[in-house]
């Protein structure tokens, strides 16, 4: 109904308005469209004609059509504007008259890979719910989901058919209050059933030996009964063993939701369970996936030489306290950008990281530049950051660019020295994939070396293992070797790898699978420890991106750099990060290991805090390349090993040794005649004991 120049949604039960629509704020231009007249249009439609304020020449006009179609309200906006009007920032007025706006719900549709690879999510409906008592009003978001308020949200306009015409459409679902966003999203995604694993346990992580309390939420997203569904639930551990399986018929009344309690087993030691629930309905398959983990508690020492940092995290998944506790539980000792007043309570030291943007600063005079940098330093001192990483992946590829950068470094160094601030100045996080060593060489030539306390660097890596040491911009060890050669030439400074990667974009030949990501965590950090790296910051804790936290995009690798998935649930590399941090806690590097007659076997020898020998061993008889480029590349499931060949290795040992795999699972190998015999493949394995060869 229309009243007082507003379009109202009325609850039929009590005849009271629960939601209203208004005009459009242009935001990036001064005009504002306000409803001046409301009249009936076609059946189930109201037409709202706008009057445009702050438009003295009367160049703008427009209207909106609000149509009821079943449970949907379709709002179609049509405006006529001149070319001088900026319409990218339009905000459409709408608000709940009782209740309020709820958190955004971002759905995905689980999909089988056409070539038999790992299943993945495709983007599904994004909903902004408003709880209004008896009803839910759910806004279907197709514009910028971050730009929204209680009373308005971003509305994307596109050119219409007539000159100067622009059009934008928003849909709303109006449902009974019992219809959850997951049910509504399933219906919009074309699925008759909603499936989701759920637990009250933060991050779906338990300690080994604890009984997991997990539920499967099922719901009929339609208005007809579901009586012929067959539901199957299966869980596998890291070794590929089926640890839980259940199959049963499922009947659901229209819009019925049910929570099924799963009787999952516990794990005797660290492990990860891969879960899938599949419903077959009328010959079609609908499914969802999730992981749970068993992670042993470990009291990390306050090792001043800890290697383990985190480059970024999304602190609302699930909440700040849980995120900090999890980071410390897996061994994180540093975060790339944070506030020490908060992080130090968890035993984590914060750095400060900002961007170097000389194009924006060139109009500043000397005093303006100094004032800008002083304010940054004041913030660093206030938050207690231990280091200032000044810049991120800039290319400094000419002497002129290097000279400009060094002038900024001179100002910062003087401000730090004059203030007595206890903060280290680090370089731009240069990248080996974008001329990083060349950039550093030019910074050195421009006189920047005495100004820096350390070198920040990013080791990009493609489809090769981290220990590949041949030349190449997108290799890990060869790039680290090139960086160390430069430091030997120009003067040693501590290395801070402020982004280390194990991207798990599904079925991508250029990236890691989830299992390989776990293996490559161990290799990346052990190689860093053995090659003069002070701290390596993994990029990042969660999947998804800062401008779409919890969002879905199967085609963008930036969504898959996390140790946790987009829900904050564990991936295998999370366990590997903790297992590696545990092994290297307080350890020192001794030397590289080689074995006569076995050139494919590689090793790094460390000494633990308690004086034990600790080796990381692996075999490269299958080479360093993880995959070959192909249009039909299919990754293996995370419970399946990629390696086909094994190599026996006999080692001297004064007693039994402990083997620890990439996710921290342990087993003992008995010594026989002063030797132990191991079977190695391409997956690195830790060996603890007393041995000499």
Q: Write the pLDDT tens digit of every residue in 31-77.
A: 899 998 888 888 888 899 999 998 887 888 999 999 999 889 999 99
Q: Are strands 158-159 and 165-176 parallel, antiparallel or unpaired?
A: antiparallel
The rounded distance, in Å, linking the Cα atoms of 188 and 70 is 13
Which residues are 105's β-sheet partners? 127
The rounded distance, in Å, linking the Cα atoms of 66 and 532 is 65
Tell the CATH topology of 601-689. Answer: Immunoglobulin-like (2.60.40)
Look at residues 640, 638, 595, 637 and name the one whose alpha carbon lies nearest to residue 620.
Answer: 595
The Cα-based distances of 452 to 306, 330, 354, 418, 426 in angstroms read 21, 30, 16, 16, 6
The rounded distance, in Å, linking the Cα atoms of 538 and 309 is 6
Confirm whether 193-294 and 601-689 share one CATH topology.
yes
Look at residues 584, 545, 569, 578 and name the one whose alpha carbon lies nearest to residue 638.
Answer: 569
Which residues are 125's β-sheet partners? none
Q: Does domain 193-294 have CATH number 2.60.40.10?
A: yes
Strand order in the sheet with 601-607: 588-593, 601-607, 613-619, 685-689, 657-660, 666-669
Q: Are strands 334-335 and 349-350 parallel, antiparallel or unpaired?
A: parallel
pLDDT at 547: 93
Which residues are 130's β-sheet partners? 101, 137
Residue keyed to tokens 């992670």: 295
In this structure, the number of other CB atoms found within 10 A of the CB of residue 420 comes to: 7
Which residues are 533's β-sheet partners? 495
Strand order in the sheet with 284-294: 205-206, 284-294, 271-281, 226-236, 242-252
DSSP of 72-131, one letter per residue?
Answer: EEEEEEEEE--TT---TT-EEEEEESSSEE---EEEEEEE--TTS---EEEEEEEEEEEE
Which residues are 606's β-sheet partners? 589, 614
The rounded distance, in Å, linking the Cα atoms of 223 and 306 is 57
pLDDT tens-digit readout, 79-123: 998 888 888 889 999 999 988 899 999 999 999 999 999 999 999
The rounded distance, in Å, linking the Cα atoms of 487 and 440 is 9
Domain residue extents for the chain = 2-179, 193-294, 308-502+514-540, 601-689
pLDDT at 83: 84
Model pTM? 0.95
**Largest CA-CA distance found in the chain, in angstroms, rounded:** 97
Look at residues 669, 679, 676 and name the one whose alpha carbon lies nearest to residue 653.
Answer: 676
Q: Any idea which architecture 308-502+514-540 has in CATH?
A: Alpha-Beta Barrel (3.20)
Segments of the chain scoring below 70 in pLDDT: 1-2, 692-693
């Amino acid at each position: 109904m229309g009243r007082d120049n507003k379009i109202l949604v009325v609850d039929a039960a009590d005849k009271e308005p629960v939601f209203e629509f208004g005009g459009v704020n242009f935001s990036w231009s001064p005009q504002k469209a306000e409803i001046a007249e409301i009249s009936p249009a076609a059946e189930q439609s109201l037409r709202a004609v706008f009057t445009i304020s702050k438009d003295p020449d009367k160049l703008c006009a427009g209207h909106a059509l609000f149509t009821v179609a079943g449970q949907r309200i379709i709002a179609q906006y049509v405006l006529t504007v001149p070319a001088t009007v900026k319409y990218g920032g339009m905000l459409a007025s709408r608000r709940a008259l009782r209740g309020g706006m709820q958190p955004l719900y971002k759905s995905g549709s689980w999909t089988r890979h056409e070539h038999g690879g790992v299943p993945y999510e495709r983007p599904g409906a994004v909903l902004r719910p408003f709880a209004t008592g008896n009803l839910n009003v759910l806004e279907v978001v197709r514009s910028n989901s971050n730009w929204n308020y209680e009373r308005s949200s971003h509305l994307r306009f596109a050119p219409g058919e007539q000159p100067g015409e622009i059009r934008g459409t928003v849909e709303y679902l109006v449902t009974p209050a019992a219809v959850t966003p997951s049910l509504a999203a399933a219906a919009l995604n074309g699925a008759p059933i909603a499936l989701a694993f759920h637990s009250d346990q933060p991050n779906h992580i338990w300690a080994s030996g604890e009984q997991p309390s997990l539920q499967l939420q099922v719901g009929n997203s339609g208005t007809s009964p579901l009586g012929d569904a067959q539901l199957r639930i299966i869980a596998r551990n890291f070794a590929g063993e089926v640890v839980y399986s259940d199959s049963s018929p499922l009947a659901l009344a229209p819009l019925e939701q049910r929570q099924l309690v799963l009787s999952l087993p516990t794990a005797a030691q660290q492990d990860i369970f891969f879960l899938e629930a599949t419903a077959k309905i009328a010959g079609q398959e609908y499914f969802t996936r999730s992981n749970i983990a068993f992670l042993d508690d470990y009291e990390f020492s306050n090792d001043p030489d800890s290697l383990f940092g985190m480059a970024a995290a999304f602190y609302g998944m699930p909440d700040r306290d849980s995120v900090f506790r999890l980071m410390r539980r897996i061994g994180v000792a540093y975060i790339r950008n944070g506030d020490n007043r908060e992080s130090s309570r968890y035993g984590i030291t914060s750095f400060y990281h900002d961007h170097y943007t000389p194009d924006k600063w060139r109009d500043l005079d000397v005093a303006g530049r100094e004032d800008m940098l002083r304010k940054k330093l004041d913030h660093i001192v206030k938050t207690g950051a231990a280091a200032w990483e000044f810049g991120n992946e800039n290319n400094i590829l000419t002497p002129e660019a290097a000279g400009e950068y060094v002038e900024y470094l001179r100002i910062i160094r003087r401000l730090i020295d004059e203030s007595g601030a206890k903060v280290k100045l680090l370089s731009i996080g240069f990248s080996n994939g974008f001329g990083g060593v060349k950039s550093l060489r030019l910074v050195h030539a421009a006189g920047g070396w005495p100004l820096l306390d350390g070198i920040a660097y990013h080791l990009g890596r493609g489809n090769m293992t981290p220990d590949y040491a041949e030349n190449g911009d997108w290799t890990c060890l060869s790039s680290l070797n090139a960086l160390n050669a430069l430091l030997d030439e120009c003067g040693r400074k501590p290395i801070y790898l402020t982004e280390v990667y194990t991207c798990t974009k599904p079925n991508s030949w250029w990236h890691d699978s989830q299992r390989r990501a776990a293996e490559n965590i161990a290799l990346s950090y052990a190689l860093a420890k053995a090659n003069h790296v002070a701290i390596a910051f993994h990029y990042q804790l969660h999947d998804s991106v800062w401008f779409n936290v919890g969002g879905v995009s199967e085609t963008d690798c930036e969504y898959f750099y996390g140790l946790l998935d987009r829900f904050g649930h564990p991936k295998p590399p999370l366990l590997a990060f903790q297992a590696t941090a545990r092994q290297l806690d307080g350890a020192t590097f001794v030397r590289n290991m080689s074995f006569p007659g076995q050139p494919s076997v590689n090793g790094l020898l460390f000494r633990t805090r308690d004086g034990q020998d600790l080796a990381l061993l692996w075999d490269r008889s299958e080479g360093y390349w993880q995959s070959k480029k192909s249009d039909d590349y299919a990754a293996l499931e995370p419970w399946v090993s990629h390696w086909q060949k094994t190599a026996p290795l006999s080692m001297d040992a004064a007693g039994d040794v402990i083997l620890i795999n990439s996710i921290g699972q342990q087993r003992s190998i008995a010594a026989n005649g002063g030797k132990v015999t191991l079977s190695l493949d391409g997956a690195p394995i830790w060996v603890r004991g007393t041995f000499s060869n």
